[in-house]
């Protein structure tokens, strides 16, 4: 499941976390929040960012074993 989590700390800092996205789609899907909130002060990318879209979806192919 894809999620965008927004956490506002007591001192007003806003943290945006995405879950369930792979590749750069997390940045595109959360861009509307960055546009609303203003300047981004830091960014921490997780392993899913570096994962290609097609790596997550595995397709099993069955080969004919008997001629």
More confident call, 66 vs 51 = 51
Is the torsion defined by CA of 50, 53, 54, 60 positive or negative?
positive
Domain regions of the chain by residue span: 3-52
**pLDDT at position 50, please?**
86
Q: Report residue 16: phi and psi, to 5°.
A: -115, 125
Question: What's the number of CA atoms in the CB half-sphere (13 Å) around residue 67?
Answer: 0
* Span 3-8, average pLDDT: 93
pLDDT tens track for 6-56: 999 999 999 999 999 888 888 999 999 999 998 888 988 888 888 876 555
**pLDDT at position 8, please?**
93
pTM of this structure = 0.67
**pLDDT at position 67, please?**
47
């Amino acid at each position: 499941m894809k999620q965008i989590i927004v956490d506002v700390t007591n001192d007003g800092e806003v943290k945006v976390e995405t879950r369930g996205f792979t590749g750069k789609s997390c940045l595109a899907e959360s861009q509307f929040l960055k546009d609303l909130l203003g300047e981004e002060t830091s960014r921490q990318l997780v392993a899913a960012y570096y994962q290609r879209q097609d790596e997550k979806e595995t397709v099993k192919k069955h080969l004919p074993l008997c001629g």
